[in-house]
Chain A
Amino acid sequence: MPNIFLPRALDFIKANQNADGGWGYRPGGDSLVEPTGLCLLALMAGGEKAATAKGLDFLKACLKDSGAVGINPRDPEGSWMAYAALLAFDALGATDEERRLRDWILSFEDASSRFTPADIKAIATVYRFDASIRGWPWTPNTTGWVEPTALFIIALCRAGVPATEKRIKSGVDLILDRKVPSGGWNFGNPYSKSYELEASVMSTALALAALGAAGVTESYPAVDAGIRYLTRSLTGDVSTASLAWVLLALNCFPTGAALAPKVSSRLAGLQAADGGFRRNLFETALAFLVLSDAAILVRIPGKGR
């Protein structure tokens, strides 16, 4: 634990649990799956397992008969936030729910099968990527993008799904295909017509963490270029959430791990007096997790949980 004040993050999280057991992004906000999943992981990692029961019940209530998890219990469809529920079900030993959700995630389709060969050719011309590669979308049957694909790979690998599983392999292919030529990733368009689009720190960090979790090493040029992009970006303005995802990504690679202590200190320095980070429960839980033990969130090849 690099910061003696970090445990106060847990107090902030506990103090802001909603009556329904879940957490919103901000104190008093409606309970949602992503902040709830991460807050549960943080409480568990901080040795506060007794405080997790009600939160776990909230997540279980979000699980539909199909195995899908939306953004909250009222959401009629599954969504990208399911990744956080899978992490929590796995960590908290909710094995039946974990299995059902994992199966649903592996069947959660993007729009790649909706494209005809002519569509794929047109997309390749304008955006210069392969739209036939299957990844994960934010919402059902829409386009697969870098960030939801990365989040699902991270969660599936953490839950023990082998990186050889075909959806994970395809997701890795999508991420590698969408890299920005000058290094890093953005939301998922490397080009628009003749313009190369800029990478962003958050997308790059998530992409790298997913690739690391799936066993893609620094010997891949895209990974090396991504780490170099992050290293350059760290000299500038980086947000709290991006810094946390960067720390997670760096921990997945030997070169990156060497940079991690500096990033840890920088992130820890953003903690507010109330124990939270930006009064955002998701960001507080994420920061707590990556500062405590990144392996809770991401499978780091060669390391245990």
Chain B
Amino acid sequence: MTKRSMTRREAVRVLGTSALSALPAVALSGGQPQLVKGPASGTLLQVALIPCPDYGSENLTAAIQAGWRSSRPPDVRGKRVVIKPNIADFSEERPIHTDPRLVESLILHLKKLQAREIILAEGPPHNRDTEWLFRKSGFEALAKRQSVPLVDLNYDDMSPVKCINPRATLLKELYLPRTILSADVVISVPKMKTHRHAGITLSMKNMFGILPGMKYGWPKNTLHWNGIPLSICEINGTLKTHFSIIDGVVGMEGYGPLLGTARKAGVLVMGDNALSVDATAARVMGIDPARVEYLAMAHRIKLGSLRREDIAVAGEKIEKARADFVLDPEYAFLRAPKG
């Protein structure tokens, strides 16, 4: 096998969570999403930035309702809704996973809106022991309480779906779980976290977790070799996330997404365009979204927009909610100037 030269950053990332894209983002331009279309050009994107001081059920319910009212939520009545939280791993000390209390409030909200079926689904990236992980993170108990299925996407039945532009990637197609493909509505509910190799992980990065580990390995290693930014765009360009709710009540700063420390931002960030939701959440974290490689790439291939002027933010002002997350020194360049 021919050895190719990797940068230090690349070499380090393929072992853990990413490799920088080996292919230019421009290779993706012109690709046509098969299952998803980006918002029409010129559309003002709507994002709700809602204060939520803690995980008390009253506060969560009020925040979800306020965010739902002030963004463009999907019609869930009579629909099959899949909620994709982030359950990357479990730690007693660190807030790695989406708080199940938020997800429970969302389930109750969806039930009120008469969703026909609600399913919780996640394919954890590192730890194959999903039974343990679901139990320790509180999601097993939540699923039982609310009588909703909890699906391990790592071992879900799957179907191949052609990638938006096979020339752009080593992957000609994505094998996607049928639980996701058969959903009428997919709601991504990630934790607001820094990421040691992607910079930050929010709604778009959360969708990495839908790909079955049995096909892509752990930690979805095929995708890491393919390049994390490219793979994120590939997944989000192929499969639509209908709504995102970012758990920024307590996020993670520093050496995330597993080893960082808790950081309270006290907000939920919600909206129907994952890129604009992520861009807004990044600004809350004190990060310039245009400096985050996969967000910039997603913007270039028109999966939405990260530009402030394209996003109407309802609720709290970004400047007021801004809670500069501590960045790993390697990612200091992501910091947005104040003002």
Report which A residues bind B (CB closer than 8 A): 24-26, 29-30, 32, 34, 71, 75, 79-81, 109, 111, 113-116, 118-120, 122-123, 126-127, 131, 137-139, 141-143, 145, 147-148, 186-187, 189, 192-193, 195, 197, 200-202, 237-242, 278
Q: Which residues of A contact B216 (CB under 8 A)?
A: 138-139
Does A142 lie within 8 Å of B1, measured CB to CB?
A: no
Contact A109 B1 (CB under 8 A): yes
Cα of A143 to Cα of B3 in the assembled complex, Å: 14
A131 to chain B, nearest CB (A): 7
- Chain B residues positioned under 8 Å from A240 (CB to CB): 131
Per CB-CB distance, the 6 closest pairs between chain A and chain B, nearest first, are A138-B217, A119-B11, A239-B131, A122-B8, A239-B132, A142-B221
Contact-residue size bin, chain B (C-beta under 8 Å from the other chain): 35 or more
The distance from the CB of B123 to the nearest CB of chain A, in whole angstroms, is 13
Q: In whole angstroms, how far apart are the Cα atoms of A24 and B212 in the complex?
A: 14
- Residues A138 and B132 in contact in the complex (CB < 8 Å), given A113-B1, A123-B15: no
Task: Identify 11 residue pairs between A and B in the complex whose beta-carbon atoms are under 8 Å apart, listed by A's number.
Answer: A115-B11, A118-B11, A119-B11, A120-B11, A122-B8, A142-B14, A142-B217, A143-B15, A143-B224, A239-B131, A242-B129
Chain B residues with CB under 8 Å of A142's CB are 14, 217, 221-222, 224-225
A139 to B217, CA, bound (A): 6
Inter-chain CA distance A266–B313, complex, in Å, is 54
Q: Which of A29, A109, A147 has a CB less than 8 Å from the CB of B157?
A: A29
CA distance A71 to B156 in the complex (A): 13
In the complex the two chains form, what is the Cα distance from A137 to B222 in whole Å? 10
Q: Which of B135, B214, B218, B224 contacts A147 (CB 8 A)?
A: B218
Main secondary structure, interface of A, reads loop
Considering the complex, which residues of chain B in the window 197-223 have a beta carbon less than 8 Å from any beta carbon of chain A?
213-219, 221-222
Tell me whether B5 is interfacial, beta carbon within 8 Å: yes
Q: Contacts A25-B155, A201-B132 given; 16 further ones with Cβ under 8 A?
A: A30-B157, A30-B158, A32-B214, A71-B215, A75-B215, A114-B1, A116-B3, A118-B6, A120-B11, A127-B15, A139-B215, A142-B224, A145-B217, A187-B127, A195-B255, A237-B132
Contact of B219 among A119, A187, A197, A241 (CB under 8 A): A187
Name the B residues within 8 Å of A186 (CB-CB): 126
CB contacts (< 8 Å) of A80 on chain B: these are 217
CB distance from A287 to the nearest CB of B (A): 13
Interface membership of B16, Cβ < 8 A: yes
Would you call A111 and B222 a contact (CB within 8 A)? Answer: no
B218 touches A187 (CB 8 A): yes
Given the complex, which residues of A lie within 8 Å of B161, measured CB to CB?
A: none
Give bound CA distance, A142 to B224, whole Å: 9
Query: Are A192 and B8 touching (Cβ within 8 A)?
Result: no
Within 8 Å CB of B131, what residues of A? 239-241, 278
A34 partner residues in chain B, CB cutoff 8 A = 214
B144 within 8 A of A: no
Q: Which residues of A contact B10 (CB under 8 A)?
A: 119
Write the nearest CB–CB distance from A136 to chain B, whole angstroms.
11
Closest Cβ–Cβ distance, residue A186 to chain B (whole Å): 8
Residues of B whose CB lies within 8 Å of any CB of A are 1, 3-6, 8, 10-12, 14-16, 126-129, 131-132, 135-136, 155, 157-158, 196, 213-219, 221-222, 224-225, 255, 258-259
Residue of B nearest to A194 (CB): B255
- Per the bound structure, the CA–CA distance linking A122 and B19 in Å amounts to 14
Bound Cα distance from A71 to B213, whole angstroms: 11
Quick one: closest A residue to B196, CB to CB?
Answer: A192
Q: Are B218 and A145 in contact (CB under 8 A)?
A: yes
Min CB distance, B139 to chain A, in Å?
Answer: 14
Q: Which B residues are CB-close (under 8 A) to A26?
A: 155
Do A189 and B16 have beta carbons less than 8 Å apart? yes
Report the minimal beta-carbon distance from A40 to chain B, rounded to whole angstroms.
18
B16 / chain A contacts, CB cutoff of 8 Å: 127, 189, 192
Report the bound CA distance from A204 to B180 in whole Å.
Answer: 32
A77 to B4, CA, bound (A): 22
In the bound complex, how far is the Cα of B15 from the Cα of A32, in angstroms? Answer: 27
CB nearest to B128 among chain A residues: A202
* Alpha-carbon distance A61/B5, docked complex (angstroms): 39
Return chain A residues, CB-CB under 8 Å to B126: 186-187
Partner of A114, one of B3, B127, B258, B259: B3
Chain A residues positioned under 8 Å from B129 (CB to CB): 200-202, 239, 241-242
| Chain B residues, Cβ within 8 Å of A29 | 157
The chain A residue with its CB closest to the CB of B173 is A76
Bound-state CA distance A189–B221 (Å) is 13
Query: A111 to B127, Cβ gap below 8 A?
Result: no
A119 neighbours in B (Cβ, 8 Å): 6, 8, 10-11
Known: A30-B157, A195-B259, A242-B129. A113 touches B3 (CB 8 A): yes
Measured between C-beta atoms, what is the minimum distance from B217 to chain A in Å? Answer: 3
Chain A CB count within 10 A is highest, among B155, B196, B221, for B221
Question: How far, in whole Å, are A237 and B225 apart by their CA atoms in the complex?
Answer: 34
Q: Which residues on B sit within 8 Å (CB–CB) of A201?
A: 129, 132
